[in-house]
Amino acid sequence: MFTDGVSLPGLSEKIMYQTCFKNLRYPNKVPAIVFSFPIKRMIGYKSQDAEAKHMFLKGFRYKKLLEFNSDKPVYSIDKEEKEICGKMKANIAGGPSIIFNRYAKRNETKI
């Protein structure tokens, strides 16, 4: 940069340095507050890791068996919804009109 003080870059640099060093104050050197991690939480994490390492294959299989064979919601489909599903699976022309009007005409989309 220029330091002659006449050109715009030189002037801006001069002003920048004057404002930086004129009111220069050092920050207070107060020690920061130390974060103390809760001991109870740390012990919980370590015990959880230890339990995960010591899980036997048989127990793991049983846990996953219960997880995947739990009762899942079954959705019933009434007559109107059954027709819509059938038309969408058959991929009949009509696009979104199948959903909004519950019917579709070939090569005619009406929303």
What are φ and ψ of residue 44, in 5° steps?
Answer: -60, -45
Q: How many CB atoms lie within 10 A of CB 103?
A: 13
Q: What is the pLDDT along the chain (111 residues), one digit of tens a residue?
A: 445 545 666 667 777 776 666 666 777 788 888 888 788 888 998 998 888 777 677 777 887 777 777 666 555 666 667 777 777 667 655 555 555 555 556 676 565
So what's the pLDDT on residue 77? 66
Q: Which residues pair with 105 in a beta bridge?
A: 108
> Is-contact 92 104, C-beta < 8 A?
yes
So what's the pLDDT on residue 72? 62
Burial 20-48 (b: 16+ CB within 10 A, else e): eeeeeeeeeeeeeeeeeeeeeeeeeeeee
